[in-house]
Amino acid sequence: MEEKIQFSIDDLLISHITESDYESLSLFSCGNDEIDDFFHDEVRLCSKYSYLIPYKCTIASSGEIAGVFTLANDVLNLEYEDKISFYNIAPEYSEIFIRQTSYPAINIGHLGVRSDLQSRGIGRFIVEFVRMTFASSRIAGCQFITVDALNNHRTTLFYTDKIGFEFQTLGDLGHHTRRMYLDIFTHPSS
């Protein structure tokens, strides 16, 4: 099997999807009908009515769309038992952290990488871009990234083993999607 060449940070750019992108976006395929259909048929209206903001990841040298994703504000609700597993919370903040019922988060939705470019570091680059943006941004509070990942082995393995996301609950084990979260500050992607 031929080894796939990984993309580097200098090879990829992230930007908003604009009106001029919709024609080329109609040709985009990540190989998952649900995600492809969303970007072909629904993303324009969802963006227009501020449900989410769509982004593209392009190859710097050619401008080709290599990946797509959306971002939306979210909230993460954690049970008390889940909160005690955050060992890197600063002592001066830990008492406040434990008392909270919910935490500010950013949700990555509809993440798809073009079929012929998968397993080359693009998905990891997208998640790391979001993590770094919200870890360094002081626009609004944000402690976690959330995803509602398609419940299949490849997707859940990507988020848990490759990136470090945790399952929020076992109650969605048999559902179509699995709710996961990543602590922006204590679990940097590797």
Per the confidence metrics, is the pTM higher than 0.85? Answer: yes
Distance CA 109, CA 25 (A): 16
- As beta bridge partners, residue 147 has 108, 180
Q: Which two tokens stand for residue 169?
A: 């609950």
Q: How confident is the model at residue 39 (pLDDT cuts 50, 70, 90)?
A: very high
The whole-number pLDDT of residue 83 equals 81
Distance CA 68, CA 130 (A): 13
Share of the chain above pLDDT 70, in %: 96
pLDDT over 50 at 189, yes or no: no
Q: What is the residue type of 124?
A: R
Choice among 73-77, 80-84, 92-96, 158-162 with the minimum mean pLDDT:
80-84
When the pLDDT of each residue in the chain is averaged and rounded to a whole number, the result is 91
The whole-number pLDDT of residue 108 equals 98
Full set of structural domains in the chain with CATH: 10-183 (3.40.630.30)
Distance CA 98, CA 7 (A): 39
The kind and range of the H/E element at 189 are none
pLDDT over 60 at 188, yes or no: no
pLDDT over 70 at 76, yes or no: yes
Choice among 33-37, 141-145, 147-151, 169-173 with the minimum mean pLDDT:
169-173
